[in-house]
Amino acid sequence: METAITSVELSSTAVDFSLVSLFLRADLVVKSVIIILIVSSIWSWKIIVEKLVRMKRLKQLESEFDEIFWSGNSFEDLYETFNYNQNDPKSTIFCAAIEEWKKSNQSIRDNNPLNLDSLKERMNRSMQVTFNKETELIEKNLTFLATAGSTSPFIGLFGTVWGIMNSFQSIAIAQNTNLSVVAPGIAEALFATALGLFVAIPAVVSYNKITSDLSKYFLSLETFINEFTTIFFRQLENK
């Protein structure tokens, strides 16, 4: 009896349970699941780092814009200043509005009367179009984090189920319930599950954090559009 137990223990300890070995021993389906999850993890972290760096830069540009915009300079001077910074959404929105105003000034020089309501509508439309374009660029690839966060656990679970099925097949073929027969398949299954969670948890947490920060930033852009429209037309009416 002791000899049988010793042989089982030796055969169990002889199995290599390192991550690389688990991957190499896995069948094609489980390997495909692991590869998909690893690629998803790499791409998710790439997006996370890019968005965090981008948000930090946007906040810095917003602070610089607000400091210059509220300095009291004329809109013409502000346009000359901000027109060179096309990386800042606020600057781009402001310049789009001023460019529309400049077109109206050209119309006045051509002896066409200025309609403030029409100008206000065109400027708002121009700023809104620019706002939509900027938000689309900022949010690019962000939906992948939501997709990875919601699907990765199920992809890992699929690998888990497949690995357990392989374990039962090994038991049926060998007609042996020793740990040495069951352990490799179960280890592969648990590896797929752990990898799915490793992808999903950072993706979900980062997605919630980034979308929350972006919502606040987009709100500040919309607030600026309203404030700028009010200030601009108040000055225009007082001339």
Q: What is the pLDDT of residues 6-55, one digit of tens each?
A: 444 444 445 555 656 666 666 788 888 888 999 999 999 999 999 999 99
Q: Delimit the domains of the chain by residue range.
A: 17-238
Place of tokens 């780092």: 49
Number of C-beta neighbours around residue 172 at 10 A: 9
Would you list the DSSP string of 75-125?
HHHHHHHHTT-TT-HHHHHHHHHHHHHHHHHHHHHTTPPP-HHHHHHHHHH
Mean pLDDT of the residues in the chain: 81
pTM higher than 0.85, yes or no?
Answer: no
Q: What CA dihedral angle connects 4, 10, 14 and 17, to 10 degrees?
A: 90
pLDDT of 49-104, one tens digit each?
A: 999 999 999 999 999 999 988 888 888 888 888 887 678 899 999 999 998 888 87
Of the chain, the percentage scoring pLDDT greater than 70 comes to 77
From 134, 144, 132, 137, select the one nearest 206 (Cα to Cα): 144
Alpha carbon distance 29, 94 (integer Å): 53
Alpha carbon distance 93, 224 (integer Å): 9
